Structure 1
C-alpha cells in the first residue's frame, strides 16, 4: 500500500521572550515555538515548517541576511538562519530557495553555559558573516562564518573573540562596520547596568572596550545600528538607537572626529553638553553624541529597529538608509519615528495597536525587507501585522497572521462533520481551526486559520470532547479544576463557520432559528462566560448589569460578537469569538484529566487526577439533562484516556495503574444507564497513556510508556484476548488513533505518536492478525516534543483513492494537520 503524507497545517504561538523573532531578506519570518524553530510566510499567513534540533526553549532567531541586508540579497540562492536556545546551544540552518529545503548545517561549538539572549550579525560580503551572541553566563562571543559559494559546500566557522562582561549579563547587542576606518567593526551592548558599552575591533582580531555611553536610567532592552549615513557624498557617521525600561528611546551619533572641525567656539555651545565620549579604532577616532531623545511610550520599550536600507540609484552608493525607526513597547503599541521635514526634530509619525485590550504588550517589532509592513509579537504568543496600503499617504491596516497556542496543547477534537478542529491547551484557551477558502484553494488542502477562541479560562485546560449529537455545536472541556464545563456555539460562530466552509454548505440548515445567543462576555476572573442575547439592546444590558450590581466590573469591556467574513485577527479572536457556557458538571474530587463522548451524543464520560481508587472513578453524564447517571469503579490511579466503542455498547478506559477496563453500557430509561465492569486486566509494564477502538469491531489498541503497542480483541462481550504486539518502539507511546479502511476485510490504519514527537502509520489486518509499518513521518513534519493526541478525520476523494486528514497536538505548542493519501 502506497501512502503519501503531506503537511496541511501547523498552528503554533510564539515563545514569550524578547529577540525571538527575525524577518529575513527572503521575506520569511522565523520564531521559536517551544523547542522548535518555526518559519512562517507573511503573504499566506501560514506556518511552513518547524525545524527540530534544539533540546530546550528557543530564545532567539536571526536570519542571514536579515531584512537589514535585503539590498544585498537579491541574487542569493541560499539563506541561513541562526537560532539559540535556553541551554546555550546555537544552530546554523541553511534554506535553499530553489527547492525550499532546509538543512541543519552545524551546531556552534563551545556552547554558552546558560541561555542565549541575543544574536546580532552583519554581512561583510555574500559569503562572509560576522555574528555576536550574548548569554546569561556573562559572555559575548564573536564568530565568523564563511558561507559556501556553491551549493552543498561546507560552512567554515571560527571564533574571533570571547568577551567577558561580568556578573550583569548583556541582553541587547548590535554590530556594525565603522565608516572610514578600513574595515574596523564596532559592537554595542547593553544590559542590566543601564550603560551602553562600545567595543571596537578588526575583522580578524580581538575586540577592545572603547567607551561607555550613559543616559538611560533602567535596563537597556534593545540596540540597533543604522548603516552608515551619507552626507555630502561621503560616509561620515553612524547612528545607534537604544531603548530601555525607562520608557525612553535615544538616538546616538558616532561621527568621524576629523569631520567635526577643530574650531574652539563650538566647545562652549550647547552641543558640547550632550557630547559623549570619544573613542578610536585603528588610526581614526569617533565622537559619540546624543542626537535625540524620543519620549512617547508609557511602558518598557522592548525593541527598536531601523527601517531596512533600500537599494540606491546614486552612483557609488550601494544603499540608502531611511531615517525611520520602529519601536515596540509593553504599552501595547508600536510607533514609527521620523525626523520632521522642516525642523529635523524626530517625531512619532504612526502608532498602531493601541486598541487591543486583550494583548498584554509587545515583546518586539520588526520591519519587512521592503519597509511597507511591520510585525509585532506579544505576551499572548500572538503576532500582529500591519501593512501600509496607502499610496500617497500612510494608511496602516491589520493583516492576517498565523496563530496558535503558546503552551503545551493537551487535547484535540474534530467537529461532528469534520468542518473544524477544536484544541485546548495549558495556555488556558480553547481554539477552533478551520479551512477557509474557495474550491480552488481547498483542493490543495486549503489555508487553515484560527476562526474562534471559544473558551478563555483561568486554569490550564487538560481535555475536551465535541458532543456528536444533532443540532447545535457543543463541547465539554475539563481543566485544572474539579468542574467540567459545557459550551454552546453562538449564532455569530455558526454564521462565521458558514463563510469559512462556503464550498460545503451541507449544514446551512444547521443554523437553527432558535439560537438566541449571539456570543459571550468574559468575566474579570476568567472562569464563567456569560451569554449575550440577540435581542438584548445595549440599554437593556446596562440596566441588567446595574441590577446585578456585582457584575458591573466583571463584563468590561463588552464583547462585540459579529459574523466574520474573513479569517479574524488576534484582536477579534481574543475577545469577540467566545462561546457562552451552558452547564457546569460537579462531582469529581480533583483536577479533570480525560473526557470523551459517545458517538450518538447521548453520554459523556470523565475522569480526574487520582492517587486512590475512590477518586479514580469515572463519571457518566446524560447529555439531555446533564445529570450524573453513573460512577464507574475499577482503577486505582488516574484514568489517562477514555473511549466509547463505535456501537456505543462499551466504554474502554486506560490508567496509570497499568490496567485497562471495559464497561458494558446500556440505556435502560430516559435518565437511567445500566453499566457493569466486564473486564479489568493488567496490560503493560508502565503507565498506559493511550487507547483506540477499531471502528469496525470490538478490537482495540493500547499504548504505553513501556514502548509497546498491543492489539486486543473483546470476545462475546465478556473476555479479552491479545491479538498481537507491535515490535518495540524507540520511545514511549503517548497517542494512538485507529482508522477503518475496509469494513469487509476489517482492515485499518493505526497512527502511533511518541514521546519524541515522531509519528508512524501502521496497517492492521484483523482477519489474520498482522501489522506492518507503512510510513514514518518526516521528522521535519513531526512534533519536537511528546505527541499528546492523534485524531483522524475522513474525507472521501474519489472511488479509487482515499484522502484522509490526521490531526495531532503536542507538548511543543503545535496543532498539526496532515494530509494522508492512500
Structure 2
C-alpha cells in the first residue's frame, strides 16, 4: 500500500489475526476449497486449517454474523474440482445476507451482492445446493418465521455480475425454523426436496422444482424438543434402487435417520411384508412421476446433552459406473456434552453404532455448537462455547487414530486493551470475555512461508469479571502485568517458570528474561480456586498428596492444573487450564470499576483510573511497582479518565477524560519510596469525550483524539504550559485510539496511528522543526496510508500499540498491534 503524499513511503501488510467464533449454531462452514468460514462479531473470518491461521476478515455486515455457508461446501467438493471461483453466503442478526466471491487464482475476495429483500429478524440458517457450475439454490430461515428460497446464477467470467432471484417464500408460522437441508430427488430430474425443522419439534418436507414454488409434502414426527440440524445424504444405491437418508438432531439428545425411498408400485406385496418398513410405515409424497416413502431408519442414542449438529461425511468421487459419486455411510454429530461422535452402520447387523468419540476434557468448557467434516473426510472440526475451535485429524493408516491439531484462537467478546512485553517478545490482550491471552510468534513453522507464525501461547488470567484494561510492567525482573476489570480491585500477575521456559521455544532469539531463569522463579504455574477468582500458585517442590478426597466429585475437587513447558503451539485444552499465571497482589483503593491502566517506561510506577460520574471518584492512583504501595492520588477530572500515558522520560503523566479535558502531572521521585506530584496543566481540548492520547517518543509533544472526529497535536512548553501545534483534518468517524511511533529523532519525525469507531486505521507522518530553545517552530502532518478495509477492524478500534523494537534492531519495518470491538487482535507489518 503506497503513501498518498509526503516524503515517507509507508506500506502495510497483515501479519496476524486472532479472533474467536460467535457462539451460535450454523456459524461455521467448511468449503470445498478447504477453507473454513465463521462469524466473528460483525465480520466473516476465513481460516486455513493447514496453517491454523486466520487469513482475512470480510467487512460488510452491520450486525453480528449468525451463519455462513460455502458454495460449494465440502458436501459438493466432488463437483468443484475445476472451479476457479468459490462463493460464500453469510447472514446476520439484522436479517441481511451477503454473497462473497473468492478467486482461487489470486486469493482475492470481493463482495458480489447483498440480498435486497432482507429478513425482518435475524437469519438462523442457510442451506444451499449446487445444481451446476453456473447456478445454485439456497434457502434462508429467520426468526421472523419466513423461509426464503433463492436462485443464484454465477457469472461465466471473473468480475462478472451474479444474478439473484427469489423463487419462493414459505411462512413457517409462529414457531420459526432453525434448520434446513436441500436435496435433488433421485430418478427425477429437476425435482428437489427441502427439509425444515425448528421450534415445533417436527420436520417439514417441501417438494418443488428448480424454477417453481415449493409445496408442503409431509411432516415427520418423533423428536420431542427443538430440531437443531438436518442433513440429507446424496443418493445411495442399494440393489439398484436409489434412496436418500435424512439425519436430524434435536435438543431431546437424540439423532434420527429417516429413509426416503422411491416407491415401486409394482412391488410384490408379500416381499414388502418382510421388511422393517412395513412395520414403521411413514408418509408417502409424490414429486413428478415418482412417489417416495419415508420411514424411520434408525434412532441414535449416545449423547448426554443437546445435539446441535449432524453432518454426513462428504461424498467422494466414485469409480462405480453410472453414479456420480460415492456417499459414505458415516455421520458426525456434535453436542453440548463436549463430545463429537462418528457413527457407522455395523458391517454384519447394519445397526448404527458410535465408532469414534472425541471431545474436550477441561472442566470449564460448555460444549460444542457444531461439528464439520473436511472435504476429504479425514478431519473434523468443532466450535465451542468459549469461541474456540477443536480440530482432529485421522492420522491412522490401517485403523482410525484421531489426533488433535492446531487451530486459530482468540477472544469471543470485545477486546478492550493490549500491551507489549518489554522487548516485544509477545502481545498480551484482555477482553470482556473475562480472559487475558498471550500471542507470540512461533518460529520454524514448516507450513508458513517465512517460517514464523503467530499463535496464542498462554491464557494467564481466567476471571469472573469483564476485563477493561491491562499494562505490562516494563522494568527489569520477571514478566508481570496488572489488569483491571469490572471490579474495584487491580490484580497483579507474575509469569511462572513454565511460561518463561516456553518463551525460549517460541522465538529464535533468546528471551531477554533468560538470565532470570530458573534460580529465582519457584512457581511452576497456577490453579484456579473453585469458588473464588484468585489464581493460586503451584510451587516447584509442592507435594502431590494434598488432595485426599479424590474419589468425591465436588466443586472443590476440580482437576489440578498441570503446568507444562510447551514445545509447539498449544491447543485449546492446554490453554484453558494449564497456562494460568499466579496472582501475586491485589491493589485496593478505587471506588468503582477500573477503566484505565498504564506503566512508566522504567517499570517503577503504575497509574490507574476507574469509571466515575462524580469528581470525588475520578482520582488517579499511583502504585509503586514491587512494594505495590499507593504512593499518590491525583485529582483533576470530573468524569471517567479514559486513558493515561507517561511521557517517555517518565517526568510527566498525561490523562484524558470524558469531561473533554486533558491534564498533565509532573512526577518526581524524591526518595526511595517517596514521590511528589503536581498538576501543571488542565485544559479543555475537544467538544466531545476524549478517548485517546499518545506522547511523541522524542519530546514533549502529544496527540489527543476525541469523539468530535478530530486529532489535535499539542506541545508542553517549559514544563508549565501547553500550546496547540495543529489540528489534523476532520476524520470520518470518532477517534478511539492513538499511538505515536518515533521514526527519526534528528528530524523529530514520527508516525501517528489513528484508530476510529468505524474500525478503520490511518497512519499520519508528523514532522517538526525546533528552534534554539527546543520549542517546536513548525509542524507538518501528512496522511501516509489509509488501511484497506479488508485489513481493518469492522467495529470500533479500542487500542493501538507499536511494538517496542530491540535496541539492536535497525530494520525499517515495524509492527503495529490493534484490538477492537469486533473480538479481534490484529497485527500489521508496517514498512517505513
Q: Is the pair's TM-score, using the shorter chain for normalization, greater than 0.5?
A: yes
Pair 415,282 (structure 1): closer, same or farther in 2 beyond 3 Å: same
Does the 8 Å CA contact 2:692/2:704 hold for their aligned counterparts?
Answer: yes
Q: 1:2 aligns with which of 3, 9, 14?
A: 9
Q: Secondary structure at the match of 1:377?
A: strand
* Aligned residue-pair number: 816
Instruction: Kindly report which structure 2 residues correspond to 1:363-374, keeping only aligned pairs within 5 A, or say none.
Output: 363-374=369-380
Q: Secondary structure at the match of 1:542?
A: coil
Does the 8 Å CA contact 1:797/1:803 hold for their aligned counterparts?
Answer: no
Pair 526,412 (structure 1): closer, same or farther in 2 beyond 3 Å: farther
Does the 8 Å CA contact 2:360/2:573 hold for their aligned counterparts?
Answer: no
Q: 1:158 aligns with which of 154, 157, 165?
A: 165
The answer as to 2:399 corresponding to 1:393 is yes
Instruction: Kindly report which structure 2 residues correspond to 1:341-360, keeping only aligned pairs within 5 A, or say none.
Output: 341-360=347-366
Does the 8 Å CA contact 1:488/1:580 hold for their aligned counterparts?
Answer: yes
Does the 8 Å CA contact 1:28/1:40 hold for their aligned counterparts?
Answer: yes
Does the 8 Å CA contact 1:430/1:455 hold for their aligned counterparts?
Answer: yes
Pair 178,444 (structure 1): closer, same or farther in 2 beyond 3 Å: same
Q: Secondary structure at the match of 1:676?
A: strand
Pair 555,692 (structure 1): closer, same or farther in 2 beyond 3 Å: farther
What is residue 542 of structure 1 aligned with on the other side?
547
Q: Secondary structure at the match of 2:616?
A: coil
Extract unaligned runs of 5+ from structure 1. Answer: none
Cα shift at 1:441: 8.1
Pair 815,297 (structure 1): closer, same or farther in 2 beyond 3 Å: same
Instruction: Kindly report which structure 2 residues correspond to 1:629-648, keeping only aligned pairs within 5 A, or say none.
Output: 629-648=631-650
Does the 8 Å CA contact 1:595/1:606 hold for their aligned counterparts?
Answer: yes
The answer as to 2:789 corresponding to 1:789 is no
What is residue 819 of structure 1 aligned with on the other side?
829
Extract unaligned runs of 5+ from structure 2. Answer: 1-7, 770-777
Query: 1: distance between equivalents of 2:135 and 2:311?
Result: 23
Query: 2: distance between equivalents of 1:439 and 1:188?
Result: 44
1:93-151 per-position Cα deviation (integer Å, ceiling 9, x unaligned): 00000000000000011100000000000111111101000000000000010111221
Query: 1: distance between equivalents of 2:241 and 2:83?
Result: 27
The answer as to 2:44 corresponding to 1:37 is yes
Does the 8 Å CA contact 1:94/1:102 hold for their aligned counterparts?
Answer: yes
55-64 or 353-362: bigger deviation: 353-362
Cα shift at 1:745: 1.2
What is residue 232 of structure 2 aligned with on the other side?
225
How does the TM-score come out when normalised to structure 2? 0.96
Q: Secondary structure at the match of 1:336?
A: strand
What is residue 410 of structure 1 aligned with on the other side?
416
What is residue 663 of structure 2 aligned with on the other side?
661
Query: 2: distance between equivalents of 1:110 and 1:737?
Result: 42
Pair 555,746 (structure 1): closer, same or farther in 2 beyond 3 Å: farther
Instruction: Kindly report which structure 2 residues correspond to 1:272-311, keeping only aligned pairs within 5 A, or say none.
Output: 272-311=278-317
Q: Secondary structure at the match of 1:69?
A: helix
Cα shift at 1:275: 2.1
Query: 4+ runs of 1 displaced by more than 6 Å?
Result: 439-443, 796-800
Query: 2: distance between equivalents of 1:408 and 1:309?
Result: 39
Query: 2: distance between equivalents of 1:77 and 1:253?
Result: 35
What is residue 376 of structure 1 aligned with on the other side?
382
Pair 400,443 (structure 1): closer, same or farther in 2 beyond 3 Å: closer
Cα shift at 1:552: 8.5
Instruction: Kindly report which structure 2 residues correspond to 1:262-661, keeping only aligned pairs within 5 A, or say none.
Output: 262-264=268-270, 266-267=272-273, 271-438=277-444, 444=450, 446-525=452-531, 527-539=533-545, 541-542=546-547, 553-554=555-556, 556-661=558-663
Q: Secondary structure at the match of 1:68?
A: helix
Pair 270,344 (structure 1): closer, same or farther in 2 beyond 3 Å: closer
Query: 1: distance between equivalents of 2:506 and 2:532?
Result: 28
Does the 8 Å CA contact 1:8/1:445 hold for their aligned counterparts?
Answer: no
Does the 8 Å CA contact 1:12/1:405 hold for their aligned counterparts?
Answer: yes
Query: 2: distance between equivalents of 1:46 and 1:162?
Result: 39
1:334-362 per-position Cα deviation (integer Å, ceiling 9, x unaligned): 00000011111100000001523232100
Pair 445,106 (structure 1): closer, same or farther in 2 beyond 3 Å: farther
Cα shift at 1:80: 0.2
Pair 435,397 (structure 1): closer, same or farther in 2 beyond 3 Å: same
Cα shift at 1:649: 0.4
Cα shift at 1:504: 4.0
Q: Secondary structure at the match of 1:524?
A: coil
1:412-449 per-position Cα deviation (integer Å, ceiling 9, x unaligned): 00000100000000000000000001399888482100
Cα shift at 1:672: 1.2
Cα shift at 1:231: 2.2
Does the 8 Å CA contact 1:472/1:511 hold for their aligned counterparts?
Answer: no
RMSD across aligned C-alpha pairs, in angstroms?
1.8
Query: 2: distance between equivalents of 1:270 and 1:727?
Result: 77
1:52-100 per-position Cα deviation (integer Å, ceiling 9, x unaligned): 0000000000000000000011110000000000000000000000000
What is residue 4 of structure 2 aligned with on the other side?
none
Does the 8 Å CA contact 2:423/2:512 hold for their aligned counterparts?
Answer: no
What is residue 743 of structure 2 aligned with on the other side?
741
What is residue 190 of structure 2 aligned with on the other side?
183
Query: 1: distance between equivalents of 2:266 and 2:48?
Result: 46
Pair 669,439 (structure 1): closer, same or farther in 2 beyond 3 Å: farther
Does the 8 Å CA contact 2:362/2:577 hold for their aligned counterparts?
Answer: no
Q: Secondary structure at the match of 1:412?
A: strand
Pair 661,260 (structure 1): closer, same or farther in 2 beyond 3 Å: farther
Pair 531,506 (structure 1): closer, same or farther in 2 beyond 3 Å: closer
Q: 2:60 aligns with which of 25, 31, 53?
A: 53
Query: 2: distance between equivalents of 1:629 and 1:86?
Result: 49
Cα shift at 1:265: 6.3
